[in-house]
Structure 1
Amino acid sequence: MSERSGRETEIIQRIGELVTEERDLRERRAHRLSPAERDRIEQLERALDQCWDLLRQRRAKEEFGGDPGQARPRPTSQVEEYRQ
């Protein structure tokens, strides 16, 4: 496996982990989430926005002849609430 596809696999796995945790917390919503759980959902949403953005950056760089390894996570303030 190339370093490029290995890094993408890591990002995709991280997205899967975050989505699973977010889904589990949201399923508990019917039982009223604690303030800490609500905060965690917000953290997960921001982390997911960053992961998706990083994956898109990598793929765009590769598609247009750039080095996907040069992609870097952007601040949450920049990627927050991206449409998926």
Structure 2
Amino acid sequence: MDDKSLLEHIHELVDEEKRLRAAHRGVAGEDRQRLDAVERELDQLWDLLRQRRAREEFGENPDEATERSVNEVEGYLQ
């Protein structure tokens, strides 16, 4: 997946996240589960995009960047 495709998918998920949050003040049930899944996928995609950009910046092949697991991405210290 190239940077453009990643960004397009990120924007689609951000739109879905906004719709889910706007539809209900307190997101619950299936919507809550979907929102959680969207948030985790967004974290993974942003991480992958950052990896690709870093590789490119340092003269490496961005296509060698790999998607990290949810547990790894969610475990990063801020």
Q: TM-score, normalised by structure 2?
A: 0.90
Moved more, 21-30 or 50-59: 21-30
Give how far 1:79 is off: 0.8
Distance 1:18 1:58 in 2: 19
Distance 2:9 2:64 in 1: 19
Structure 1 runs of 4+ with >6 Å offset: none
Distance 1:9 1:44 in 2: 19
Please give the root-mean-square deviation of Cα atoms over the aligned residues, in Å.
Answer: 2.0
* Structure 1 alignment gaps of length 5 or more: 1-5
* Structure 2 alignment gaps of length 5 or more: none
Q: Deviations over 1:29-68 (max 9, x none)?
A: 22x4341000000000000000000000000000011100
Distance 2:27 2:39 in 1: 16
Q: TM-score, normalised by structure 1?
A: 0.84
Q: What is the aligned residue count?
A: 78
